[in-house]
Amino acid sequence: MNDIAPNRRRRAGGRSGHTARSGGHAIEQMPWRLPRNTDRPIEPLPEEGVRAIHDGAMRVLAEIGIEFLNDEAIGHLRAAGCKVEGQTVRFERAFVEEMVARAPASFTLTPRNPDRAITLGGGYILFGNVSSPPNAWDLERGKRPGDFETYREFIKLTQYFNCIHFAGGYPVEPIDIHAGVRHLDCLHEKLTLTDKVVHAYSLGPERVEDVMEMVRIAGGLTHAEFDASPRMYTNINSVSPLKHDWPMLDGAMRLARRGQPVVVTPFTLAGAMAPVTLSGAVMLSLAEALAAIALLQWIAPGCPVAIGTFTSNVDMKSGAPAFGTPEYMRATQITGQMARFYGLPLRSSGVCAANVPDGQAMWETMNSLWAAVQSGTNMVYHAAGWLEGGLIASPEKFVMDCEVLQQIQRYFEPALLGTTEADLAIDAIAEVGAGGHFFGCQHTQDRYQTAFYGPFLSDWRNYEAWQAAGGVWTAERAHGIYKKILAEFEPPPMDEAIREELADFVARRKAEGGAPTDF
């Protein structure tokens, strides 16, 4: 605003009851919903650019090839007619295009609570919790290695927030649980403390089979029912450049054979594991992803898959990875163009390089979240709680991110865009007249309760009211909210028989020694 006298603005301002955080509940939050992205995606590349990246990816697959460190996968691809030399597989363009064309443009995943079913693709943009940080950080305890108790805290936050649509990987790595049984304890907590779609790490056959079995039990499903439609998913990463690891391929094939979705997300850090040029890094990422998708579509035609992007850049001064940069945004948008070209659902992420939930953390996170919107991303990984390039999970950041995610959900509400006679309010304008005020008029009274988004974390009070209330900065407010949430958390209902069957399964598998940890 330029020339408005401050006192006029002050009068428009005034004190805020800030009731979002008062009352019996920790917060008043939005109800569960699957937001649809109605914005036309940003398409930074012209048609020729899309074509050039596709041609380049096909040349990489045909001329250079991809290493598959998995004999079963190599066997399948040899049978499919691909050229195999040692562990390097070269793909004919026509084969890749035919296989990719088999993949569905969208699919629905149904967790143990059918009301929490999610559709990947179809214009939806869905959010998941931060996944896989080895460390946790909060204002009270600082940075420390992840443990099981902290894992449970984040799983509760994941369930609590309606704007978190799926429970991704471990929100923090519980290193106090032996790796051989960690997946059993973690999935037991995830399946009992949440009723949302869960994820399986592809870290060996036993783990993958155990998780699929636990999801089946938690859903009260027969094996046939489990196999009949998507119930959970895995995300695999290539070892960029040009390599797919044994356990990732093994897990992906196990899920694909049972109709469970696989997200393929290369981690192509431009200037490190990928070319320093954005189109080169995106092209490499696509080549690696399409190679795995071609394999999965060969062994399980039409199986649900999504393409993931994790192309960012390093700080060339230090080699440190950077996230939420202008380059990250464009790479995400370009990958979105390519995903639409291939007709595949897209996964991207909410990311930052910041070490604490401060201003930098939020501008980097906002860059990545708006890039997710602009790219037509369907599945936003790490949408809440991520810090330090994914090395830290923070509950304050989780709460701050959920405030932002709710705002993105609100942004997509069609109600904001009405232009009916009643919306235009010409009668109300005539009634109020020059210099009048709209607070009191009927048109406002009829709508004010739902007219605007109400935040649970943003503090809209003026400085004096904010200061009188303690002058609390955002991260500290978020800290208080996360503790209130944990204090009032109630797990979703679960049938007792199912709860026992799940516990018995975990006990039995632990008695059997869990999963080997020798690879």
Question: How near is the Cβ of 36 to a copy of itself at its closest, in Å?
Answer: 13
**Residue ranges of the alpha helices (H) in 144-299?**
148-160, 182-193, 205-218, 223-228, 246-257, 278-299
Interface pick for a copy of itself out of 53, 167, 193, 215 (rule CB under 8 A): 53
DSSP string over 364-425? HHHHHHHHHHHTT-SEEEEEESEEGGGTEE-HHHHHHHHHHHHHHHHHT-GGGG--SHHHHT
Q: 317 near 329, Cβ under 8 Å?
A: no
Q: Which two tokens stand for residue 53?
A: 């990246």
Question: How near is the Cβ of 306 to a copy of itself at its closest, in Å?
Answer: 12
CA distance 256 to 54: 25
Which region among 36-44, 185-193, 205-213, 219-227 touches a copy of itself (by CB under 8 A)?
36-44
Interface pick for a copy of itself out of 330, 378, 393, 515 (rule CB under 8 A): 330
434 binds a copy of itself (CB under 8 A): yes
Q: Which two tokens stand for residue 197?
A: 């779609």
Q: Which two tokens stand for residue 477?
A: 């407010």
Which is nearer to a copy of itself, 217 or 252 (by Cβ)? 252
Residues 214-273 touching a copy of itself, rule: CB under 8 A, are: 235-237, 239, 241-243, 248, 263, 265, 267, 269-273
CA distance 325 to 281: 15
201 binds a copy of itself (CB under 8 A): yes
**Site for a copy of itself (CB under 8 A): how many residues?**
166
Residues 340-369 touching a copy of itself, rule: CB under 8 A, are: 349, 353-367
Which is nearer to a copy of itself, 381 or 505 (by Cβ)? 381
45 binds a copy of itself (CB under 8 A): yes
Which is nearer to a copy of itself, 179 or 486 (by Cβ)? 179
Residues 110-149 touching a copy of itself, rule: CB under 8 A, are: 131-135, 137, 143
Question: How near is the Cβ of 518 to a copy of itself at its closest, in Å?
Answer: 16
Interface pick for a copy of itself out of 40, 114, 496, 511 (rule CB under 8 A): 40
**How many helices (H) does the chain have, and how many strands (E)?**
20, 21
Interface pick for a copy of itself out of 12, 224, 487, 511 (rule CB under 8 A): 12
Radius of gyration for the alpha carbons in the chain, expressed in angstroms and rounded: 24
Residues 444-473 touching a copy of itself, rule: CB under 8 A, are: 444, 447-449, 451-454, 457-463, 466-467, 471, 473
Q: Residue 119 CB: number of other CB atoms within 10 A?
A: 18
Question: How near is the Cβ of 351 to a copy of itself at its closest, in Å?
Answer: 8
Closest CA to 294 of 30, 475, 103: 103
CA distance 363 to 369: 10
Residues 310-329 touching a copy of itself, rule: CB under 8 A, are: 310, 313-322, 325-327, 329
Residues 382-401 touching a copy of itself, rule: CB under 8 A, are: 382, 388-392, 400
CA-based max dimension of the chain? 81
Q: How far is CA 437 from CA 165, 442, 444, in A?
A: 41, 12, 10
517 binds a copy of itself (CB under 8 A): no
Question: How near is the Cβ of 332 to a copy of itself at its closest, in Å?
Answer: 12
Question: How near is the Cβ of 219 to a copy of itself at its closest, in Å?
Answer: 22
Q: Which H or E run contains 342?
A: helix 326-342
Interface pick for a copy of itself out of 152, 188, 190, 199 (rule CB under 8 A): 199
CA distance 445 to 451: 10
Using left for φ > 0, alpha for ψ between -120 and 50, and beta otherwise, residue 129 falls in: beta
Residues 471-510 touching a copy of itself, rule: CB under 8 A, are: 471, 473-475, 478
83 binds a copy of itself (CB under 8 A): no
285 binds a copy of itself (CB under 8 A): no
73 binds a copy of itself (CB under 8 A): no
Which is nearer to a copy of itself, 46 or 343 (by Cβ)? 46
Interface pick for a copy of itself out of 418, 470, 487, 519 (rule CB under 8 A): 418
Q: 184 near 510, Cβ under 8 Å?
A: yes
CA distance 142 to 5: 44
Q: Which two tokens stand for residue 213?
A: 């079995």
